[in-house]
Structure 1
Amino acid sequence: MIDLRLVRENPDLVRASQRARGADESLVDALLAADAERRAAVKAADDLRGEQKAASQAVRGASKEERPAVLEKAKALAAAVKEAEEAERTADAALHALHLRIPNVVHPDVPPGGEDDAVTLRTVGEVPTYDFEVKDHLQIGEALGAIDMERGAKVSGARFYFLTGPGALLEFALAQLAVSRAVAAGFTPVVAPALVKPEAMEGTGFLGEHDEEVYRIERDDLYLVGTSEVALAGMHAREVLDLSAGPRRYAGWSSCFRREAGSYGKDTRGIIRVHWFDKVEMFSFCAPDEAEAEHRRLLQWEEEFLQLLELPYRVVDIAAGDLGTSAARKFDIEAWFPSQGTYRELTSTSDCTTFQSRRLAIRSRDADGKPQPVATLNGTLCAIARTIACLLEVHQQADGSVHVPAALRPWLGGHAVLSPGMALAPAQLL
């Protein structure tokens, strides 16, 4: 959640952020009113508790004649305190509910507009040309024996799939490369749970307006994560972190689940937009004044990874109206998909400032030793299914084979190409 002091001291800034997002700016005034009501309720309860304390002391010093009246007053004050404390709890709950509804304040450099208004910052690599008819990743994957959508749908329904043979091995190779790169950059590898409690989902901003995207296990009151960001953020909830040596960084591996509500008819073919995929996610806790620099570092690591995969891409600065609830700024990397003749999102990285840490009570100590909220940032290093789709398309060859980037070959038995019908010996490849 945003800093309540910021709302009190600079409400126009928060209203402007709401307008930029296309969100309801009247919520800012409602939050200010709820804050005033809560402070009034707290003062009223404190004043009554003070009177009650004085009345209790008066009972002890009262004479026999005075005692009944003093006791009656103390009794009335006790009832009034009880009512005032209930009013305080009600006002606090109302304030909290409104506070949760306001998304993070957008960074001043974020472009205005919506989904179609992202600004391209740079384009890296040349878009490949082919002297043969380009196939999409599903055609290539089926010919390789790498993707089986039909049986995925038979077992689990639409937007599910099997990765088989070279497809499964590509997943393991990408995971190995991503994790090894992250560890070399100083990240601690984490295998994160894919099921989390409601407070972790709410704390990271994935409930509320986004809850239609989330799978919920009602019997156990747990949620399937759409990204390991949720578990990694929640891992340090209600803790005070030592960041004296710099940011604390994790590379989380987990399966991810998304209902894709509202995406009916979009990307129904292949494994670009699916209900389940595996992902390696970078997550960083750092001091708030280091967040912008850390955001750039996460983006740099994402770019380096795609360069190792020999994929042409562009970096875009996402517009305010297309930001998620928690993000103050977000960069996407869109890679080239030949079958579509366009760039599509492959990774993203978001600076969530102190928005998530305030919800989850994650703090570090400042120079004076006082606990303060930390900044949290996330970045996808490799969303594996979509990356496999892009690899197959970009690196396809006329004979149906697929070029293997050099960085992946150590985990694919040294093979420079994957070909239909080729024998892949697991002992050699893993």
Structure 2
Amino acid sequence: MADQLLSRAALLRYWRTELAGIRQGAVAKAVGVVSPTTIHNWETGRTDGPNLRQLAALDEWFGAGGALRGVYLALRTPDALLPAEDWWCNFQGEPGPCWAWLRVSGARPSTAHVEAGPLRVDCEIPVESGLFLQAYAFASNPAVHARIDGGGWVDFGHGILPSTIGAPVVDAVDVAVVGPRGELDQALVAASKTWLPHWKYQGDSQWFFTMRTDLGRRVEVAKKTLLAAAKAVVSTKSDVSSAAASLEDVPRHWGGERYRALRQARGLSLLDTAELASEADMSLPPVTKDHVHRLERGAMPRVPQLVERLDAVLGADGRTCTAEVAEIQGAGRFTEITFPVYWVGPVWVQFLRAGHAHDHSATLLWSPWHKRLDVRDGVVVTTRRSEPAMPPLRVELQPGWRVRAGVGVHPRAVDVTEGWGLISREVGFPALAFYFSVMERAMRAPRRT
């Protein structure tokens, strides 16, 4: 493994000396520390590294575009999170360059399958430093889904990675494919057949480059076809009525020691973590260093939504908690579920028989999308909340049913993320048009140097 990916200290030294070419004194002044000795100590590991404000200042001063901050926080993920096959990310903010860092858990290379809507990349991950997959634009929905055969770790970040980062960097647009594959999102692929005509390029070894050029020439024509594509995007029903169900409660959170390990793996102090958690929802009581410290020592949370907020700010994507939400309101056949405003990631809904029920169907509605289900008593389904601005989740229930709901990874949940359809062509067209504009931007973006 390259030195700069062995430790946070080496990463800081590499970025300053080999990429930015700036002396320690100038860096000290830029980030507001007293002496260049502080920078020296960060880069040799003699003291803890920069706090979040200082890290952001370093990233900006070096012109890293978020890449330094992202790699710095991701460097020690394997020290705190268990390896897994599936990883997701709903990128937030204005569409721009982004990346995924894929690492294997074993001593042999493995294969990764990364999907973003109708696009898919299959790549081999080397051992040790892994592989970076670089893209040039993103949408918050659908989520990027990475699957590693045999398990591993995937971190996601913003910016454009330097080619000398210390692991292979692959441009996703060079190797992405469109079209049928296992476990595909039927709705998005149906739309892609209209506005990404992959059938036209069969037999052309350079088909993706040809398609990208054609889209550049015929952007207005392609955009007009979105209206027709919306007709193809319909909800596919998921039958979860035979899935395993249980009415037993699940643990609300990991346990304190693992929160401490994840915080330290991210390079965050107690104060950094408390401030980030407080900023997640200013309407809630603030989180203090003591709250975080006590939780890490095994005490019960003493402030509302502490574990949920910690999961969010530590970038765990729901892996540390299975917390029930209280804001569930019913109005006739519709039940409205309000999730925490800051939450982006997995959410779950449990269907419970509340009386005599003849009809076992239900519909999840998250404008402009909906998903139809066949359910049974006690079954839990999971999907993802893609951004903080999303409205409450509405559930259309038949008589005799009620729901519980929460955030985080529920161990018994059936994933129903795929196969959502547009509620109507009129409300769905802007969503498809925006997604097309993101893909167009990714294809046309200047290449990494």
TM range, normalised to the smaller chain?
A: under 0.3
Instruction: Please give the TM-score of this superposition, normalised by the length of structure 2.
Output: 0.24
Q: Which has the larger radius of gyration?
A: 1
Report which structure shows greater RCO (CA 8 Å, sep ≥6): 1
Structure 1 or 2: more helix by fraction: 1
Instruction: Please give the TM-score of this superposition, normalised by the length of structure 1.
Output: 0.25
